[in-house]
Chain A
Amino acid sequence: MSRFASFAKSLPLSGRIGLSLVLFWLAVALVGPAVAPHGVGAFVDQDVFSPVSSAFPLGSDYLGRDVLSRLLWGARYTVFLGAGAALLACLIGTTLALTAAVRGGWVDEVLSRAMDTLISIPSKIFALVMVAAFGSSLALLLTITAITYVPGNYRIARALAVNVVSLDFVTVARARGEGGLHVALREVLPNMIHPLLADFGLRFVFIVLLLSGLSFLGLGVQPPYADLGSLVRENMSGLVDGAPAIVMPALAIATLTVGANLLIDALKPVEKQG
């Protein structure tokens, strides 16, 4: 715990704000359903789009459901599905990129062209086909969103890795007789970790948007469950009234993504430390 405290202390103010927002949303995602006052699909209000009141702290939605409860239930989809897919995409993309950059030659060529092919498939159509074929499930959503964002991460990671691989210390490691794994993980990866983290933050935001887009088409998280993105979508008609039902989920997405990016930006680039 003291290590965590000293880590938090080392961050600038913006980073501490980001860290607390991220921690807050993680907590909500973990314990949300347990503390939610109502069930996720329970119709509890006679009125729709009712304003903030003591009974409904964040108002009610287009069907008269409690927005606070739906937020508490929905956060877990966005946080875990979004972060999980982003993590998976970055993990796969960066691994392939390191392989391509360190091996070079035909390995690089084959991987890069395969990624180009993947990029050329429109992500929504791809998702549509996959859901039509296998039916919507959380595992499938995770896979689809991850696959969609692998090529982008691969492109960035490969560009970074190719630059690092051309530096003298990598040549030194090779002349020392080091294997590809050591070169990739010990010499190259630590020198590109910060831009990769920034890329992770960006991809996380994209995935939240893709998920809500899929939900809009009825392909995402299935009702009565909803992720934060679909909460915004389904309450779209409340926009003209300024109903809290649309403002609150939007605020939730904003604080989560801004928090994640503030935290990532505050992590010092390795080359500027000390």
Chain B
Amino acid sequence: MSAHVAVKDLRITAGGKAIVDGVSFEIERGQVLALIGESGSGKTTIALALMGHSRFGATISGEVRLGETRVDRLDDAGLQALRGRRVAYVAQSAASAFNPSRTIMAQVTEPLLVHRLAGKEEAEARAVDLFRALALPSPETIGARYPHQLSGGQLQRLMAAMALITRPELVILDEPTTALDVTTQVEVLKAFKVAIASVGATAIYVSHDLAVVAQMADSILVLNQGRTREQGAAEQVLHAPADDYTRTLMGAARPHARSAPAVVGKEALLKVEGVHAAYGKVPVLRDISLSLAKGATLGVIGESGSGKSTLARVIAGLLPRSAGSVSLAGEELPKGLEGRSREQFRRVQLVFQNADTALNPVQTVGQALARPLAFYHGLKGAAAEAEVARLLDLIRLPAHLATRNVRQLSGGQKQRVNLARALAARPEVLLCDEVTSALDTVVGAAILELIDELRRELGIATVFISHDISTVRAFCDQVLVLYGGTAVEQADAAAFGRGVHHPYTDLLTDSVPEMRAGWLEQARTRKAVLAGESGDDLCRFLPRCPVAIAGTCNAAPPPLRSGDGLALLCHHELHDLEGMSA
């Protein structure tokens, strides 16, 4: 029997430029092919071509075969019958893929009803079965809810339910877990794997995350700029890559510890003591204390909503703290922006996550960099120009880029400019808020190395906010783990490496996929002991904690356990936790 899906010499061109150039592959029935590559490599374009769809009015040529059907030769009516019925698509951001004004059930059953494959009752029964297979909470009633009442991970699984409900032959998953927290990602991946297997569909998994791909794929196709770089069984590509580009990707996926330790000053430069902050009446930070010396790096980790970005905003004064103090070199900073002197502004600089929105789109690179120079240092004319050139050299961009508009830069270049603008102030504290999470792995790794190098050369104290625990572990001298606005664990690098952790840190560590097949099956998902219990003073992690002690954890606030460079909030003794982490 020939392959279920066959693509031969696929070429997709837009405006005379080839986005995909001569890609061929075959997938056997029930197998999963992963398309990996950086952004702009054409992986999503290929995936969409399998549904006969092309973006930006691009033209598709070559052969796309699904079973006995030549997808590339179908007319509009033929494509309409194909889409949603034989081929289904799961998009990256489920939150924006659902219609907010209709119930989940109406949207999940829609493909069945549109293609007249089932009546309303049968469709709803099938949907509930899928909800159960995808391990969604209260499968019988979840359909009556609206998208805004559900979490991102739940929506992503519901999106899969919508795709799988017609029992399609081919499912296309386009970066379905990229927008999710690591802890959620594990659950979603598990649910996907089970559900796809139960329907018996062939799947194409588009991703830039090699470790995730290792869990899902039978074979892998590595793409770069629309061309195939390497193609083969998952095991071979991941563990014995033949192509240089694949090896680069693999190298970037594993952050290696920095080469030389930083020269860290003795005295605390930035001191945060007992800081509380709230959005309106909702508390987002509770009693955060930290101290950071010149040249040191503090990693702040936590899931979305843990308050890690808020911490940076509070230090920068964008969100006035409601209690506590923030001081810089012994001098207390005013709560909000008002009352801070220009010098105080200069010493603390914030680098935003998304360089696309953090740079003013009407400015040139030179203008963006010259403003802080003029504002803080009064540099104008030739002196400013020379300094801009020096900054561009520092971030390893060619000097002629100064006259370019920021929109003409690539994502990585923008993030470098974003960083350079902060450095132009000659800051003492640099707050980096998820600066690499919007970038490709290779580009992100280069930015990280750049930050680390600059920090060492310029002696800047860095607060490095990230959701990626392995990056933080490799780059930081101190680690702060936030959960629900509380610092559940705080440790220096050596103590953090010893393996005694708060149960939440353990959960985070266990959720990072490893680059080997079978990890997903072995990954522990330990059930919470006291699910549903929470209180204002109690441990914030209690509703999700797998090792909570009934009668203690739900009765009293967790005590502070500290020793040898480590401090964490837990009812368990440190030596007990050591056993649990192992």
Give Cα distance in the complex from A191 to B360, angstroms.
Answer: 8
Give the interface of A toward B (CB within 8 A).
167-169, 171-172, 174-178, 186-187, 190-191, 270-271, 273-274
State A273–B361 Cα separation when bound (angstroms): 10
Choose, from B349-357, B392-400, B485-493, B524-532, the stretch at the interface.
B349-357
- Tell me whether B350 and A172 are in contact (CB under 8 A): yes
Task: Identify which of B316, B357, B372, B407 contacts A168 (C-beta below 8 A).
Answer: B357
> How many angstroms between the C-alpha atoms of A149 and B316 in the bound complex?
41
Distance in angstroms from B435 CB to nearest chain A CB is 12
27 A-B residue contacts at CB 8 Å?
Answer: A167-B357, A168-B352, A168-B354, A169-B359, A172-B352, A172-B358, A172-B421, A175-B317, A175-B318, A175-B345, A175-B349, A175-B350, A176-B349, A176-B371, A176-B372, A177-B337, A177-B342, A177-B344, A177-B345, A177-B346, A177-B375, A190-B360, A191-B360, A270-B361, A271-B362, A271-B407, A274-B408
A171 CB contact (under 8 Å) in B318, B375, B425: B318
Closest B residue to A164 by beta carbon equals B360
B306, CB-defined interface residue at 8 Å: no
- Cross-chain contact B407 with A175 (CB below 8 angstroms): no
Contact A273–B358 (Cβ < 8 Å): no
Inter-chain CB contacts under 8 Å: number = 54
Q: Is the interface of A mostly helix, strand, loop or mixed?
A: helix
**Known contacts A171-B352, A176-B372, A274-B405, then 19 further A-B pairs from the complex at CB < 8 Å, ordered by chain A residue:** A167-B357, A168-B352, A168-B358, A169-B357, A169-B359, A169-B360, A172-B352, A172-B358, A172-B421, A175-B350, A176-B349, A177-B340, A177-B342, A177-B346, A190-B362, A191-B360, A191-B361, A270-B361, A273-B405
A172 to chain B, nearest CB (A): 6
A-side contacts of B337, CB under 8 Å: 174-175, 177
* 10 nearest CB pairs, A to B: A177-B345, A168-B357, A190-B362, A168-B358, A169-B360, A175-B316, A168-B352, A175-B350, A270-B362, A274-B405
- A177–B350 Cα gap in the complex (Å)? 12
Query: Chain B 353-383, CB within 8 Å of chain A: the 1/0 string?
Result: 0100111111000000001100100000000
Using a CB-CB cutoff of 8 Å, which residues 322-354 of chain B contact chain A? 337, 340, 342, 344-346, 349-350, 352, 354
Q: In the complex the two chains form, is B407's CB within 8 Å of A274's CB?
A: yes
Closest to A190 in B: B362
Residue of A nearest to B312 (CB): A175
Quick check: A176 and B318 within 8 Å, CB to CB?
Answer: no
In angstroms, Cα B407 to Cα A273, docked, is 9
In angstroms, how far is the closest chain B Cβ from the Cβ of A268?
Answer: 12
Docked complex Cα distance between A227 and B318 (Å): 53
Give chain A nearest CB distance to B336 CB in angstroms.
10
Give every chain B residue within 8 A of A177 (Cβ-Cβ): 337, 340, 342, 344-346, 375
Interface footprint category on B: 20 to 34
B349 surroundings in chain A (CB, below 8 A): 175-176
Bound state CA distance, A177 and B345, in angstroms?
Answer: 6
Interchain CA distance A186-B367 in the complex, whole Å: 11
**Complex: how many Å from CA A190 to CA B405?**
14
Chain B residues within 8 Å of A174, by CB: 318, 337
Instruction: Report chain A residues within 8 Å CB of B345.
Output: 175-177
Q: What is the bound-complex CA distance between A273 and B337, given in angstroms?
A: 34
Distance in Å: Cβ of A93 to nearest Cβ of chain B: 21
Q: How far is the CA of A35 from the CA of B408 in the complex (A)?
A: 51
Task: Report how far A169 CA is from B354 CA in the complex, Å.
Answer: 10
Interface centre among A171, A172, A187, A274, by most B CB within 10 Å? Answer: A172
**B408 contacts across to A, CB distance below 8 A:** 274
Q: Which residues of A contact B317 (CB under 8 A)?
A: 175
* Closest A residue, CB atoms, query B360: A169
Q: How far is the CA of A77 from the CA of B372 in the complex (A)?
A: 47
The residue in A167, A176, A190 that gathers the most chain B C-beta atoms within 10 A of its C-beta is A176
Judge whether A176 and B359 touch: CB under 8 Å.
no
Beta-carbon contacts under 8 Å, B523-563 to A: none
Contacts of A190 in B (CB 8 A): 360, 362
Give the CA-CA distance A172 to B362 in the complex, in Å: 15
- Give min CB distance, B379 to chain A, whole Å: 15
Shortest CB–CB separation between residue B315 and chain A, in angstroms? 10
Min CB distance B196 to A, Å, is: 37
Inter-chain contacts of B361 with A (CB < 8 A): 191, 270-271
Known contacts A274-B405, A274-B408, A169 near B358 by CB under 8 Å? yes
Asked if B405 and A187 sit within 8 Å, CB to CB, the answer is: no
- Contact present for A178 and B405 (CB under 8 Å): no
Across-interface contacts of A168 in B (CB, < 8 A): 352, 354, 357-358
Distance in Å from the Cβ of B270 to the closest Cβ of chain A?
15
Residues of chain B lying within 8 A (CB to CB) of residue A186:
371
Whether the Cβ atoms of B360 and A187 lie closer than 8 Å is: yes
| Chain B residues with CB below 8 A from A169, complex form | 357-360
In the complex, what residues of B have CB within 8 A of residue A270's CB? 361-362
> A193: nearest residue on chain B (CB-CB)?
B362
Q: With the chains together, A171 CA to B317 CA distance in Å?
A: 11
Name the interface residues of B397-455: CB closer than 8 Å to any CB of A: 405, 407-408, 421, 425
Q: Please give the distance in Å from B410's CB to the nearest CB on chain A.
A: 14
Chain A residues whose C-beta falls within 8 Å of the C-beta of B340 in the assembled complex: 177
CB closest chain-A residue, reference B343: A177
Whole-angstrom distance between the alpha carbons of A169 and B346 in the complex? 16
In the bound assembly, the distance between CA atoms of A167 and B352 in angstroms comes to 11
Asked if B425 and A176 make an inter-chain contact with CB atoms under 8 angstroms apart, the answer reads: yes
B288-327 interface with A by 8 A CB criterion: 316-318
Complex contacts, B316 vs chain A, CB 8 Å: 175
What's the nearest-Cβ distance from chain B to residue A179, in Å? 10
Chain A residues, CB < 8 A from B405: 273-274
Residues of A contacting B359 with CB < 8 Å? 169
**B111 to A: closest C-beta gap in Å:** 35
Q: How far is the CA of A175 from the CA of B317 in the complex (A)?
A: 7
Name which residue of chain B comes closest to A187, CB basis. B360
Considering the chains assembled together, what is the distance between the CA atoms of A171 and B361 in angstroms? Answer: 14
Q: For residues 64 through 94 of chain B, which have their beta carbon under 8 Å from a beta carbon of chain A?
A: none
From known contacts A271-B407, A274-B407, infer whether A176 and B357 are also in contact, taking CB-CB under 8 Å.
no
Q: A271: which B residues are within 8 A, CB to CB? A: 361-362, 407
Most A CB atoms within 10 A — which of B340, B344, B357, B359? B357
Q: How far is the CA of A176 from the CA of B405 in the complex (A)?
A: 21
CA A142 to CA B316, docked complex, whole Å: 47
Task: List, in ascending order, chain A residues with CB within 8 A of B346's CB.
Answer: 177
Interface centre among A169, A187, A190, by most B CB within 10 Å? A169
CA distance A171 to B319 in the complex (A): 11
Cα separation A167 to B358 with both chains bound (whole Å): 7
Shortest CB-to-CB span from B337 to chain A, Å, is 6
Chain B residues with Cβ below 8 Å from A191 are: 360-362
CA distance A59 to B408 in the complex (A): 56
Residue of A nearest to B359 (CB): A169
CB contacts under 8 Å to A, within B89-127, are none
> B134-155 CB contact bits vs A (8 Å, 1 = yes)?
0000000000000000000000
Within the assembled complex, what's the spacing in Å between the Cα atoms of A178 and B405? 22
Q: How far is the CA of A176 from the CA of B362 in the complex (A)?
A: 18
Q: Which residues of B contact A273 (CB under 8 A)?
A: 405
Q: How near does chain A come to B484, taking the closest CB pair, in angstroms?
A: 24
Taking the closest CB of chain A, its distance from the CB of B56, in whole angstroms, is 15
Docked Cα-Cα span, A172 to B369, in Å, equals: 13
A190–B317 CA distance with the chains assembled, in angstroms = 26
Residue of A177, A190, A273, A274 most packed against chain B (CB within 10 A)? A177
Smallest CB gap from B337: residue in A: A174
Chain A nearest Cβ from B340, distance in angstroms: 6
B-side contacts of A167, CB under 8 Å: 357
A residues near B318, Cβ cutoff 8 Å: 171, 174-175
